Structure 1
């Protein structure tokens, strides 16, 4: 291609399209309006337009999860970007590539320290906000520090930040001054391919695959101590041999799948490995539904002490654990009660591999796992075949939840609810749960073979799920096979981000919104303050929400239901018309105050003990 020129904003738009992005989340503000013109005038990109910046960040998070790649968030300087930071922090915590583009005052105004609106009226007014984002970003493109006399430097700095965002699967930050928007730059950079988030990184990239603010283990090991740096393929080959040897000597091997396996697209490779080698596999709460939960080799969901007994016993009795993408947070590990001996554990991460007690910081899950398939398969012929189990057998053994007989009374209680809705799900549904009764309630329920499940288990920001549902539904719209998007959210969590339902209507989306009306913050009550006023909320009339948020001229049809008994819900879920996702639906489930899933009750007890110093 010839070396042509274009406006820098046009270059950014073309780069974003190369990543496969189609939806841009955010809120307009005067410092980003000119950039938004380029998005709105593009035939591929769609400006979503959110109710506020926090919701936009949540939506970008949900989009990245379902898309399996980049999401883009655009805010304005100061007031806009700060509103988004909680959502961006969640994407960092749970490893999602969200590019945060901030429209900023011109470089000339910043250099003159002009007292502009949205500034702090301090000497650091033009650096304070980017400093706040620094701890939440794997890379930063501070274009205000690039001389406008060398506009091609804009391209270099932007491209490097975009590459880091994709490679590390973490948020990155771009400050876009108004005078950089129309700067003329070379188009040559568009010919340089961008990395795929699921592709194995180079050694140079591995040097930077560490949490923001921490020194690279590669630099620390090889540069500070002057060691010779081996080629990454040599180290990977050595690691694969070590793992294969441990596997060969094991009598009860398992694979444990966690969150980062999904972030780096390892699901298909793991499935190939367990099927080729006949290895039993388990998931964590954050790894739920990465693999087929109806598969004969699936053993259940493991979260330390907060696991069903047969699941916990088998995992903790194993003598070889291939722990893929582990993220051992408190809610993901039963308050750190995972009992797996490091001596026979192999932990695959995006920047290092741990085999037993040894660390190999030049290796990456995307390098190691594909090579393991052949290495472990070569060992399997000497092993006894693993016996698979049907779903019915798993239910009998107590490895997964079963559809219980109707409990006494008519109330919709958690013990009955989650297996019932589990049987209602379709094969390829997208299921999103708020951190609370819904996320804990679905843990032992086997989801359909091709379902996608999302919950913000680690960051746990209340209200995340509503914005994430918007992003997930938009990502689903881009797929060839139509998929239903289903949300389960508590009445308390809903109040924080309810405005984004209006955006769903405006964008013509048709999710199912199940609102659990149990009169307040039930997860908090289970942890502490069972009768405390601070766990109460103002009760909404949920049946008025869709008519109110849809307005007088809704872009999509809608309907609301209030369900108070098991029979009412059972009949609704069987209704053929209800099962056609042709409109946005809000289903209010009236549930008893104080009722909770057993997994939440036990986790709340563990959390309360930890909060009290273990007493």
Structure 2
């Protein structure tokens, strides 16, 4: 729900007969009630449906699925055992389910004829006004930019937004949750904007803009540098899932999926009317050049470091960024990884998968299983790469066994820095609850593979920059032909600069009354 994902939670229930008799069954609270868990789930999903005897089953299934696909949020569907094999009409299959990347129709209350209609400027005068207002503001702006956030990706607007920035000529930035939605190698890409946790010149460029198109904004604490976005509402346009905000005004029935294609055409026409794309003035060029240099500095692997010494974060992230290739799927665990990866440049077709808002420690290992399975359906599968911590891994380590079972071959980078480093940085540097029972990770893959030695696997441990650099440069290592575990030993207390900054911002935010 927090991460805006259209998940179907399909829940098996006892038969309608047993439910009606309030039988005391296992997996219940022993009180004869069978609606406790659906009631609990109602707070965590966009819609709850429970099939009952004599209800309109197919319509209810379609309704719940439709909510998930339209709103890009999870739904709950309870299915009693005695309804599995009931024969029903196939009539409902003739009506396609909504597609999450398509603009939703206008609801009857907003449609001029009282029936759902396509959301176009002809049917929706509010949408027409919004496009015109944004375009007029664009024409008057001297320094327009765009910021790409996560909901733009969830609703499939990445390709449309790329066309928009290219035809309008504006520079674009991304939040941590919006990382890799657009091409980070694009000449108009300006970097990651995270409020006060941004690189200084990037922050200056963004916050000095006089026309900001905020696409799919989700201003959570870690996604905004503890709510330090400094974007005056008067100069900001926000494209949301089901509305558009311009300045202090909000316009319903103008969702991002409807607005983006129409706005792209309008801005392209405006650029033509203005005689070409807006020129960047000398003073602004200097800020941009400073931002580009700061990005290069953040991405450069430090030279002159003791390659035989300890692996530090300031060396690790630039170096591992050079390991990434086109079509790679990189899963960044909640913790030091999700902060270290922010300013790492991704190849044009690589994808970053991160859980910035909910931030569940251990999430990434299970997510890697799902990503690796989904990648088998792609034309260009790419490599699946997990970067996690040894503490996070303990939360869901059993999913590595399922990876072996399903035959997927991800790279599993495990940062071993003797416990929960992100928790130590935020609160509890010496607290015992941030210590963990240390596993012998070199025995992990042999343990999960078991006696079936036909499954290709390999384990490595690296203690120095030289050892990791040699491994990452190895042509054989770069072939995704086996499941691999790479244990990266790092000193306790070291952390990415962005995490250190976030820890300070979090402390300041928590100290306010």
Instruction: Give the TM interval when normalised to the shorter protein.
Output: over 0.9
- Runs of 5+ consecutive residues of structure 2 not aligned to the other structure: 112-120
Question: 1:421 aligned to 2:348?
Answer: no
1:126 counterpart residue number: 34
Q: 1:239 aligns with which of 103, 126, 130?
A: 130
TM-aligned CA deviation for residue 393 of structure 1 = 8.4
CA distance in 1, matches of 2:378, 2:195: 36
CA distance in 2, matches of 1:232, 1:244: 20
Question: 1:343 aligned to 2:234?
Answer: yes
1:74 counterpart residue number: none
CA distance in 2, matches of 1:407, 1:341: 42
> Given that residues 232 and 363 in structure 1 are in contact (C-alpha distance below 8 angstroms), is that contact kept between their aligned partners in structure 2?
no
> Given that residues 335 and 361 in structure 2 are in contact (C-alpha distance below 8 angstroms), is that contact kept between their aligned partners in structure 1?
no
CA distance in 1, matches of 2:425, 2:164: 40
CA distance in 1, matches of 2:29, 2:250: 45
1:292 counterpart residue number: 183
CA distance in 2, matches of 1:555, 1:267: 41
Question: 1:135 aligned to 2:32?
Answer: no
Matches within 5 A, 1:82-161: 92-123=1-32, 125-143=33-51, 146-148=52-54, 153-161=56-64
CA distance in 2, matches of 1:392, 1:406: 25
Q: Which deviations, in whole Å up to 9, do the C-alpha atoms of 1:252-296 show, x marking residues without a partner?
A: 100000000100111111110111111000000000011111111
Question: 1:252 aligned to 2:143?
Answer: yes
- Runs of 5+ consecutive residues of structure 1 not aligned to the other structure: 1-91, 208-217, 220-229
1:170 counterpart residue number: 73
TM-score normalised over the length of structure 1: 0.78
TM-aligned CA deviation for residue 313 of structure 1 = 0.3
> Given that residues 434 and 490 in structure 1 are in contact (C-alpha distance below 8 angstroms), is that contact kept between their aligned partners in structure 2?
yes
> Given that residues 491 and 516 in structure 1 are in contact (C-alpha distance below 8 angstroms), is that contact kept between their aligned partners in structure 2?
yes
Q: 2:408 aligns with which of 490, 493, 509?
A: 509
CA distance in 1, matches of 2:194, 2:85: 52
* CA-based RMSD: 2.1
Q: 1:330 aligns with which of 189, 212, 221?
A: 221
1:186 counterpart residue number: 89
Q: Which deviations, in whole Å up to 9, do the C-alpha atoms of 1:205-240 show, x marking residues without a partner?
A: 9x8xxxxxxxxxx89xxxxxxxxxx98522111100
Q: 2:293 aligns with which of 376, 380, 396?
A: 396
Question: 1:454 aligned to 2:353?
Answer: yes
1:535 counterpart residue number: 434
What SS does the aligned partner of 1:601 have? helix
> Given that residues 351 and 361 in structure 1 are in contact (C-alpha distance below 8 angstroms), is that contact kept between their aligned partners in structure 2?
yes
CA distance in 2, matches of 1:475, 1:386: 42
1:498 counterpart residue number: 397
1:467 counterpart residue number: 366
Report the structure, 1 or 2, having the larger helix content. 1
> Given that residues 172 and 188 in structure 2 are in contact (C-alpha distance below 8 angstroms), is that contact kept between their aligned partners in structure 1?
yes
Q: Comparing 399-408 with 605-614, which one deviates more in the overlay?
A: 399-408
> Given that residues 142 and 278 in structure 2 are in contact (C-alpha distance below 8 angstroms), is that contact kept between their aligned partners in structure 1?
no
CA distance in 2, matches of 1:597, 1:352: 36
Question: 1:432 aligned to 2:331?
Answer: yes
TM-aligned CA deviation for residue 608 of structure 1 = 1.9
Q: 1:283 aligns with which of 153, 174, 190?
A: 174
TM-aligned CA deviation for residue 139 of structure 1 = 1.4
Name the CA shift for 1:156/1:170 in 2 (closer, same or farther; >3 Å). same
What SS does the aligned partner of 1:549 have? helix
CA distance in 1, matches of 2:407, 2:428: 40
Question: 1:405 aligned to 2:308?
Answer: no
> Given that residues 243 and 254 in structure 2 are in contact (C-alpha distance below 8 angstroms), is that contact kept between their aligned partners in structure 1?
yes
What SS does the aligned partner of 1:184 have? coil
What SS does the aligned partner of 1:531 have? coil
CA distance in 2, matches of 1:405, 1:352: 49
CA distance in 2, matches of 1:197, 1:344: 29
Matches within 5 A, 1:71-90: none
TM-score normalised over the length of structure 2: 0.93
1:444 counterpart residue number: 343
Q: 2:379 aligns with which of 480, 499, 507?
A: 480
CA distance in 1, matches of 2:211, 2:399: 45
> Given that residues 201 and 291 in structure 2 are in contact (C-alpha distance below 8 angstroms), is that contact kept between their aligned partners in structure 1?
no
CA distance in 1, matches of 2:53, 2:154: 36
Q: Comparing 372-381 with 501-510, which one deviates more in the overlay?
A: 372-381
TM-aligned CA deviation for residue 493 of structure 1 = 0.5
CA distance in 1, matches of 2:82, 2:326: 49
Residues matched between the structures, number:
496
CA distance in 2, matches of 1:611, 1:515: 31
Question: 1:610 aligned to 2:504?
Answer: no
> Given that residues 243 and 255 in structure 2 are in contact (C-alpha distance below 8 angstroms), is that contact kept between their aligned partners in structure 1?
yes
More RCO (CA 8 Å, sep 6+): 1
Q: Which deviations, in whole Å up to 9, do the C-alpha atoms of 1:373-429 show, x marking residues without a partner?
A: 01111111324345999x998652446532221434611100000010101101110
TM-aligned CA deviation for residue 531 of structure 1 = 1.2
> Given that residues 202 and 291 in structure 2 are in contact (C-alpha distance below 8 angstroms), is that contact kept between their aligned partners in structure 1?
no
